[in-house]
């Protein structure tokens, strides 16, 4: 059976397949650049695993309190080395990226302290954590004040406003690397590094926390290589490599990580407790695969961008631009096109390919959200997915792809839906 015949059985016409193949050939040089970065990141992760002498005993399960779980403790040392930090907390008890951020924030902010966000308003699900939208148990309820400095219209940091906003009261500064549901460019590690210098000059006592979700291993450096005190993320995104069944990580300065451990469990126990229930092997193996898997996702994003640009849609970033995370924005302009795109992505999934995504009132968001998510790990953003808030400009956020081949199929099926040819 030929490739064209196989793709036809999956719902991709010969015309759309040929369209995709033509685009793919033009992207070979870009893909070579992505592979080169993946090679560096793979070596970095491998070096961290070898340095910490990972062996089969580290895959053993623990139960109950989880005392003396050497596999868990060693994994945290591996993460610390891979992310160039003093310490790390890597736990399946952290339910998601928002939970990891909430733990890190609440552990290192006391009543009377100020949280300053300098990349604009944080991601939607953090609004209630902080108290931007009133919610029980928010930081605001506990007496933590909040201010933000928006990015400039060109997506860069507003340096004069940031310098003016930082005061002796500022305890922690939040930077969101990825765009979230905003329509801005994601921030590069170099941009974050320059801001770290500015912040430390203005208030050397203020800790810098970077929401690293969707950005891990896209570049060859992480924010903690260039001055950030903490990086925080989810294991069902990039660093889990598509294998981690759940969890999150917090890596950075030792005292800040220890505080997060105390908040995650209880004061006096901290990181000493927390059984891994047989997940250690998947967390190690997922991290090992992460550089390659992230490269597959980035290739899928670049391909999707080029495909949609040639169909007349506006994208961010453009297919020609260097990537700083795995997210690809496509401005669909109207709700029906948005629904069709998500429908096509769902049809290309290995799980739940037969269902049609519909908008729903997803917890933590202020409007209905549509989500194509046919993933082995529920909610995994490193697996091919597409989601969007149902509001203008009806922008879809595409991310993931465990393999480029499956990611390409999903994008081509989305094209079929938009062209009205899928049966």
% of the chain beyond a pLDDT of 90 = 93
Same domain? 247 vs 205? yes
Same domain? 130 vs 183? yes
Residue 95's pLDDT is 97
**How much is the average pLDDT of 365-393?**
92
Same domain? 369 vs 318? yes
Q: Is residue 352 domain-resident?
A: yes
Which CATH number covers residue 272? Answer: 3.40.640.10
Same domain? 268 vs 305? no
3-class secondary-structure state, position 292: helix
State the average pLDDT for the chain. 96
Which CATH number covers residue 319? Answer: 3.90.1150.60
Contact (Cβ atoms closer than 8 angstroms) between residue 285 and residue 275: no
Count: domains in the chain: 2
Residue 422's pLDDT is 47
For 131-181, write each residue's pLDDT tens digit: 999 999 999 999 999 999 999 999 999 999 999 999 999 999 999 999 887
Q: Is residue 55 domain-resident?
A: no
Q: Is residue 321 domain-resident?
A: yes
Same domain? 182 vs 319? no
pTM here is 0.96
Residue where one domain finishes, among candidates 278, 309, 326: 278
Residue where one domain finishes, among candidates 245, 278, 311: 278
**How much is the average pLDDT of 53-82?**
97
**Separation between Cα atoms, residue 404 and residue 302, nearest integer Å:** 10
Same domain? 151 vs 74? yes
**Separation between Cα atoms, residue 384 and residue 403, nearest integer Å:** 9
Q: Say which residues have a Cβ less than 8 Å from residue 258's Cβ, sequence separation at least 6.
A: 87, 270, 271
Same domain? 246 vs 132? yes
**How much is the average pLDDT of 262-266?**
98
Same domain? 213 vs 308? no
pLDDT-derived band of residue 423, with 50, 70 and 90 as boundaries?
Answer: very low
Burial tier of 27 (Cβ tally within 10 Å: 0-12, 13-18, 19+): middle
Residue 3's pLDDT is 84
pLDDT-derived band of residue 367, with 50, 70 and 90 as boundaries?
Answer: confident
**Separation between Cα atoms, residue 98 and residue 96, nearest integer Å:** 5
Residue 228's pLDDT is 98
Q: Which residues of 267-281 are buried (b: 16+ CB within 10 A; e: fewer)?
A: eeebbebbbbeebbb
% of the chain beyond a pLDDT of 70 = 99
For 334-344, write each residue's pLDDT tens digit: 999 999 999 99
Residue 362's pLDDT is 79
Residue 130's pLDDT is 97
Residue 2's pLDDT is 87
Q: Say which residues have a Cβ less than 8 Å from residue 93's Cβ, sequence separation at least 6.
A: 247, 264, 274
Q: Is residue 49 domain-resident?
A: no
Same domain? 164 vs 205? yes
Residue 365's pLDDT is 75
Given a cut of 70, whether residue 246 has pLDDT beyond it is yes
**Separation between Cα atoms, residue 75 and residue 89, nearest integer Å:** 9
Same domain? 155 vs 259? yes
pLDDT-derived band of residue 243, with 50, 70 and 90 as boundaries?
Answer: very high
**Separation between Cα atoms, residue 362 and residue 292, nearest integer Å:** 31
Residue where one domain finishes, among candidates 243, 278, 313: 278
Edge to edge, what strands does the sheet with 145-148 contain?
87-91, 248-252, 230-234, 207-211, 170-176, 114-117, 145-148
Tokens of 265: 């469990």
**How much is the average pLDDT of 8-31?**
96
Given a cut of 70, whether residue 421 has pLDDT beyond it is no
Q: Enumerate the β-bridge partners of residue 385.
A: 399
Choose the weakest-confidence range: 122-126, 212-216, 247-251, 314-318: 122-126
Q: Is residue 307 domain-resident?
A: yes
β 114-117/314-316 pair status: unpaired
**Separation between Cα atoms, residue 237 and residue 216, nearest integer Å:** 9
CA-angle at 11, arms to 7 and 14, nearest 5°:
55
Count CB-CB contacts under 10 A for residue 415: 24
Q: What is the residue whose two structure tokens read 């310098």?
A: 163
**How much is the average pLDDT of 197-201?**
96
Q: Say which residues have a Cβ less than 8 Å from residue 301's Cβ, sequence separation at least 6.
A: 323, 326, 327, 328, 398, 399, 401
**How much is the average pLDDT of 200-216?**
97
């Amino acid at each position: 059976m030929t490739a064209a015949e196989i793709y036809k059985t999956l719902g991709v016409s010969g015309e759309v397949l040929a369209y995709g193949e033509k685009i793919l050939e033009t992207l070979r040089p870009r893909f070579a650049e992505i592979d080169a970065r993946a090679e560096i990141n793979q070596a970095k992760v491998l070096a961290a695993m070898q340095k910490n002498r990972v062996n089969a005993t580290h895959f053993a399960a623990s139960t109950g309190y989880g005392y003396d779980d050497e596999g868990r403790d060693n994994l945290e040392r591996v993460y610390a080395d891979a992310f160039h930090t003093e310490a790390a907390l890597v736990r399946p008890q952290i339910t998601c990226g928002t939970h990891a951020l909430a733990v890190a924030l609440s552990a290192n902010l006391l009543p009377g302290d100020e949280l300053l966000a300098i990349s604009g308003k944080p991601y939607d699900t953090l609004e209630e954590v902080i108290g931007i939208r009133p919610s029980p148990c928010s930081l605001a309820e506990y007496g933590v004040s909040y201010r933000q400095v928006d990015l400039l219209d060109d997506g860069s940091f507003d340096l004069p406003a940031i310098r003016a906003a930082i005061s002796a009261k500022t305890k922690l500064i939040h930077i969101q690397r990825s765009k979230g549901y905003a329509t801005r460019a994601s921030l590069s590690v170099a941009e974050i590094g320059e801001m770290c210098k500015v912040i430390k000059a203005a208030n050397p006592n203020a800790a810098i926390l970077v929401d690293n979700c969707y950005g891990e291993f896209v570049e060859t450096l992480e924010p903690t290589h260039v001055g950030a005190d903490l990086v925080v993320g989810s294991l069902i995104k990039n660093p889990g490599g598509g294998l981690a069944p759940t969890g999150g990580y917090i890596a950075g300065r030792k005292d800040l990580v220890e505080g997060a451990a105390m908040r995650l469990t209880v004061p006096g126990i901290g990181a000493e407790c927390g059984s891994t229930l047989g997940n250690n092997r998947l967390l190690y193996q997922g991290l090992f695969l992460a550089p390659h898997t992230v490269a597959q996702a980035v290739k899928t994003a670049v391909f999707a961008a080029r495909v949609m640009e040639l169909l007349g849609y506006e994208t961010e970033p453009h297919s020609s631009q260097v990537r700083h995370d795995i997210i690809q924005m496509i401005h669909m302009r109207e709700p029906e096109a948005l629904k069709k795109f998500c429908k096509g992505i769902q049809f290309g999934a290995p799980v739940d390919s037969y269902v049609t995504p519909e908008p729903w009132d997803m917890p933590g968001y202020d409007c209905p959200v549509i989500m194509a998510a046919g993933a082995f790990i529920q909610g995994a953003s490193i697996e091919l997915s597409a989601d969007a808030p149902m509001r203008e400009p009806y922008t879809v956020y595409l991310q993931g792809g465990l393999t480029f081949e499956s990611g390409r199929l999903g994008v081509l099926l989305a094209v079929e839906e938009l062209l009205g040819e899928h049966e």
